[in-house]
Chains A and B, each alone.
Chain A
Amino acid sequence: GQNIDQPTEMTATEGAIVQINCTYQTSGFNGLFWYQQHAGEAPTFLSYNVLDGLEEKGRFSSFLSRSKGYSYLLLKELQMKDSASYLCAVMDSNYQLIWGAGTKLIIKP
C-alpha cells in the first residue's frame, strides 16, 4: 500500500529553526509537495521537489532524497504566524497526490 509518514505534532520557539520530516512509500514517484494549512483554512502550496537536493525559498527550504524515500521541510527564523499544519504529499505513478496526515507545528514565544 501507499504510505506517507510525518510526525503528528512539533513544538518550536519563535526565532528558532525547525525541521519537519516526511517519509514515503508509494507506487511510483512524480514529485513531492509541501503545503501549509492554518487551522480552519485551505492548504496553500509551499514547495515542490522532483530531483534530489535542497530547494530554498526565503525562510523555507525543502529537501528530497528519492533513494531513501525521505523529505524534510526546514523553517528558519520562526514567526508566530508559522503556527500551522504542514502537509507532505507525493505524486504517484498515476499523477495522483497521496497525502500525509500533516504535522501540527506549535510556535512558542
Chain B
Amino acid sequence: TAGITQAPTSQILAAGRSMTLRCTQDMRHNAMYWYRQDLGLGLRLIHYSNTAGTTGKGEVPDGYSVSRANTDDFPLTLASAVPSQTSVYFCASSRGDNQPQHFGDGTRLSIL
C-alpha cells in the first residue's frame, strides 16, 4: 500500500544516546516534514525539506538534524537525547505548497 512508513513504532532511549528515526515515502512527493506532537499542544514542525537535497528549520529544530539524500527518505536524528524530547514524532509528505500533508503512523519515543 502506497504511503509513508516510519520506524521504529516506539522506542525507549537512555538520555545522552543518539537515535535516528526513519521515514520513507513511495508517493514521489517533493516535500517532507518532521513534527512532534505533545499533549495539549499542536503539532510543531521540527525540520522540513521542499525537495531532495534541501532542508530547512522549523519551529523547534534544536537537538535534531535531518538529511534528504533522495526523494523517498527523510531520516531524523537526535544526536544526544534529552528527556524533553520525549514525544510522538510524525513524518509527513506532500506534493508541494498548498497540498495536503499525508502522515506516517508515528514513532513514540521516551527518553529516560
Contact = CB atoms under 8 A, between A and B. Distances in A.
A binds B: yes
Contacts, number: 46
A4 B42 contact: yes
Contacts of B106: 41-42
Contacts of B103: 42-44
Interface residues of A, number: 22
Contacts of B90: 42-43
Interface string A28-67: 0011010000000111110010100000000000000000
Given A96-B45, A96-B58, A45 B102 contact: yes
Interface of B: 40-45, 48, 58, 90, 97-98, 100-106
8 contacts: A44-B103, A48-B98, A50-B98, A91-B98, A96-B45, A96-B58, A100-B42, A102-B42
